Amino acid sequence: MNFIPTHKILLKTAVLLAGSAFSTVSFAHSAGATLGADGKKASATALAAITCFDDGNGRPEGLFTQIKDMSDPVPGLLINIQLYKGLQAVSITDTVSGDADYSEGIQLNGGPGVYQMIVNKTDVGPKRFDVIWHCMTEDHTHTGTDITVRQFQ
């Protein structure tokens, strides 16, 4: 029998709930999980594909995101997020471990289509995080946003 690790189930559940709950009720999308839940590996990576489309609110200009470290402070253990589409990429690190504040926001302006979002940590130990993502029009109006989790390890 193959068992799915609990953290994968939790992330997929959070993503499904966030997508279904927020897509019709509000314009915010967020989900959280823990990278490296066993605490043994320095590397752990999550990958998601986010599709930006015109849902009637306008043509997407880009994808906006922020990340928040929700773990206890550990020197040298930080959380990063990268966005890329085509030949463009941007990234941000929540530079204060365990402060429970979101990083500065970043936006990658690649128009409509599929963006890749990568979340990774910098050292050994579990890293609990929350991420926010929004597809935005040129006038900063939220528009169509779908997410598919591709990898969580």
pLDDT digits (tens, 9 = 90+) for 22-53: 233 334 588 888 998 888 888 899 999 999 99
Number of residues assigned to the chain: 153
Looking at the domain assignment, is residue 84 inside a domain?
yes
What global pTM score does this model have? Answer: 0.79
Looking at the domain assignment, is residue 35 inside a domain?
yes
What is the pLDDT, as a whole number, of residue 11?
40
Q: Output 23 or 61, whichever has higher pLDDT.
A: 61
Looking at the domain assignment, is residue 112 inside a domain?
yes
Looking at the domain assignment, is residue 15 inside a domain?
yes
- Kind and range of the H or E run holding 111: none
DSSP at 33 = E
What is the pLDDT, as a whole number, of residue 57?
96
Instruction: Give me the phi and psi of 20, to 5 degrees please.
Output: -75, -40
Looking at the domain assignment, is residue 39 inside a domain?
yes
How many independent structural domains does the chain possess? 1
> Token digits for 89?
């990429």
- Domain boundaries, position 56: 6-152
Looking at the domain assignment, is residue 23 inside a domain?
yes
Looking at the domain assignment, is residue 1 inside a domain?
no
Looking at the domain assignment, is residue 22 inside a domain?
yes
Q: Which stretches within the chain are classed as H helix? A: 6-25
CA distance 58 to 139: 9
What CATH number is associated with residue 70? Answer: 2.60.120
